[in-house]
Amino acid sequence: MGTGKRGLLSVAVAVVCAVTVLGAPGAAFASPEPTPGATATPPAGGGAPALPSTATADKNLEAVRAQLETLYHDAAVATDAYNAAEEAARKQSAEIVELAKKIVAGQEKLTELKNRAGAAARAQYRTGGLPDEAQLMLSDDPSQFLDGAGRVRQGQRATKGLIGQLARTQQDLEQYAKDASAQWAKLEAGRKVKAAAQKKIEKQIAQAEKLQSRLEKKEKARLEELERQAAQKAQTAWLDTGILKEIDGAASAQGKAAVQFATAQIGKPYVWGAEGPDSFDCSGLTSEAWKSAGRPMPRTSQEQWKQLPHVPVEDMRPGDLIIYFSDASHVAMYVGDGSIVHAPRPGRTVTLAGAGSMPILGVVRPDA
């Protein structure tokens, strides 16, 4: 392999490596948030401050819970943007590598064609600079003339073909260069999108963590209880519609394999942008589960919603993916009996939950 080829392939490989590591999660930062909870107010005339009532405390914690939901939801939307940019960068990197290989092969072909053209020119020089046609006309031997005429026609065709190959190869190289330049431009644009998404993710998570850090131990426990109650209330309302009586589909073989993979990850932490094996975000879990079942699919929850076949909720079966919220910012895998397995949010682990515990946008089936 020539020095030029090694150099091009080295550059291509460097591109892939550089793009792959872009945007690794970094340090978070936060902006000031109001202090949650109720403050004890001194009674008129002095004495010990009056403690807030349970109802008042719960009301304040409900406000905190709503604020946390907003922060984590915005972080989830930004995570989808980050993951989409990362997936696009992988594809663009692979395309650049292929283009680099084509450029190397094209340059080698062009060099070979130029060498052949040079050999033809040197051969003509050795015959006194006369073209084959002129040498043929000077021959007095009829048989030599006839044989030579055939060779001339062959030579003309060969020369014409050589010139055509040179032109096509040169055009191909120019097109490969344009395509590579376009992919580089996309990579740069994607890098900016990815960096902006990462910044927003870190900001939202940092704000949420700061808000929670200002809660006392009892408040944190009560907040978790309120979260469980809210999820249970939504799940109960969903089940009360009688939907579970209609959902009786059996999992496909690939669906069973995907469910087995997903449930085996229970207990592993949520980390935004993660695809395993030690941590996952919501779409990282579902995409890897189906990849393990032999069915690769889009990386993000939004693209899973856009690209995968939709099925009615009442027709879903284990292995199907439930897309949540109007912006398709969360995804979970249905495992049967009204339950899902999912990676909820930062600070949580992969877990089982009620399928109706969040607002359902729809259901998609990777192996439809």
Catalytic annotation, residues = 282, 330, 342
Look up tokens 């877990």; give the residue.
351
DSSP secondary structure, 301-324, as one string: HHHHHHHSPEE-GGG--TT-EEEE
Look up tokens 């109007």; give the residue.
326
CA-nearest of 124, 122, 91, 85 to 303 is 85
Question: What phi-psi label fits residue 310: left (phi over 0), alpha (psi between -120 and 50 degrees) or beta?
Answer: beta
Whole-angstrom CA distances from 351 to 77, 262, 343 are: 20, 10, 7
Distance CA 218, CA 223 (A): 9
Other C-beta atoms within 10 Å of 54: how many?
9
Under 8 Å between Cβ of 194 and 82: yes
Distance CA 358, CA 324 (A): 7
Helix (H) or strand (E) holding 353: strand 351-354
Whole-angstrom CA distances from 242 to 238, 247, 314, 356 are: 8, 9, 10, 12
Distance CA 339, CA 204 (A): 28
CA-nearest of 315, 364, 327, 357 to 340 is 357
257, two tokens = 């394999």
Under 8 Å between Cβ of 324 and 282: no
Distance of alpha carbon 313 from the chain centroid: 26
Q: At how many degrees (to 10) do helices 282-292 and 253-264 cross? A: 130
